[in-house]
Amino acid sequence: MLTLLKLLKDGRFHSGQALGAALGVSRSAVWKQLQHLESDLNLSIHKVRGRGYQLAAPLELLEQDQLDTSPWPVSIHHSLDSTNAEALRAIDRGVTAPFVITAERQTAGRGRRGRKWVSPFAENIYYSLVLRMDGGMRQLEGLSLVVGLAVLSALKNVGISGAGLKWPNDVLVGNKKIAGILLELVGDPADVCHVVLGIGINVNMRVASEVDQAWTSVYLESGSAINRNLLVSKLNDSLLVYLRRHAAEGFSAIQAEWEKNHLWQGREVSLIAGVHQVDGTVVGIDQQGALRMSVNGEEKVFSGGELSLRLRHDS
């Protein structure tokens, strides 16, 4: 089925006879594979008598040879439940970190707080970088915010100049989400552990009715499709720079840059933790990456994986 997809990815018409010859199968077998492509990957295929078969839009697949310059080994998967889940399984199998897991689609993509991450085939970036951490908690301080800066840098490098950060793990354009980050930890954070840096970027997605929040994509912001291999390479480069800086200097050296790019700096917000809500104004972040808020004239600090930040009164 993947071979057939590669034949069709140019978006041109291909006759059933030519496809069958290329695959070494009958035209009826080609038809069955086309049905699987439509049902399994939710791809739209035009069928025109006398002309053959054509994808509704050309596809650009992730290509191993275009990612071989990565600073870490990269594996590309046709379909996964999620790249983070596969990364955790690889850790269990004893795969040596660092390494990167990518996928053309996810069937059970996850965001923070258990939210679904919509993952259509060959449209976006679904990416997990696994790192081994030796030396305790200092290397984990503000790590998700550092990753956010790296994602932001990669997006700006491909022309998304209006992107900015939202504490703790989102990249936005205006009030619309273009990328998200999910970190997962395995092992003893006080000694030796592995951390999975899960990153989802909306790249060429144009329609996604099942997304339950305001969103955008590189395509919608720029008006044209972008080569996802290029963006993965930019992401690798940005991550390498920021992770090295974080390891050498700590999060405090990056704190001011993060605050400069925080879209909600000085805004009135509500911080949600379960059924509890705290209203205040964003002051900034501290040297560990925790959120600083002014609450009834008093500065308070908040951190934790289950916190959600929302704007108040359209501030």
Average pLDDT, the chain: 91
Structurally, at CATH architecture level, domain 2-55 sits in Orthogonal Bundle (1.10)
Structure tokens at 95: 């795969």
> Is 111 labelled as part of a ligand binding site?
yes
Confirm or deny that 82 is annotated as ligand binding: yes
In the chain, % of residues over pLDDT 90: 71
Distance CA(33)–CA(7), nearest Å, equals 12
Is 112 among the residues known to form the active site? Answer: yes
pLDDT at res. 244: 95
| Paired tokens of 87 | 């990364």
- Residues 6+ away with beta carbon under 8 Å from 116: 108, 109, 110, 210, 212
Q: What are the pLDDT digits (tens) for 143-197? A: 999 999 999 999 999 999 999 999 999 999 999 999 999 999 998 888 889 999 9
Identical fold between 64-259 and 264-311: no
The domain made up of 264-311 has a fold known as: SH3 type barrels. (2.30.30)
H or E element at residue 163: strand 163-166
Annotation-wise, does 50 bind a ligand?
Answer: no
pLDDT digits (tens, 9 = 90+) for 5-35: 889 988 899 999 999 999 999 989 999 999 9
Q: Which two tokens stand for residue 187?
A: 């092992």
Q: What is the DSSP string of 113-139?
A: GG-B----TTTSEEEEEEEEEES-GGG
Q: Flag whether pLDDT at 253 surpasses 60.
A: yes
- Identify whether 310 is a catalytic site residue: yes
Place of tokens 């069958």: 20
Q: What is the pTM of this model?
A: 0.90
User: Which of these is catalytic: 112, 166, 228, 234?
Assistant: 112
pLDDT at 276 over 70: yes
Q: According to CATH, what is the number of the domain 64-259?
A: 3.30.930.10
The neighbour count for residue 260, using CB atoms within 10 Å, is 11
- Residue 95, pLDDT above cutoff 80: yes
pLDDT value for 315: 46
CA–CA dist 139, 143 (Å, integer):
7
- Extents of the domains making up the chain: 2-55, 64-259, 264-311
3-class secondary structure, 46? strand
pLDDT of residue 153: 98
Of residues 166, 177, 228, 234, which has the active-site annotation? 177
112 is in an annotated binding site: yes
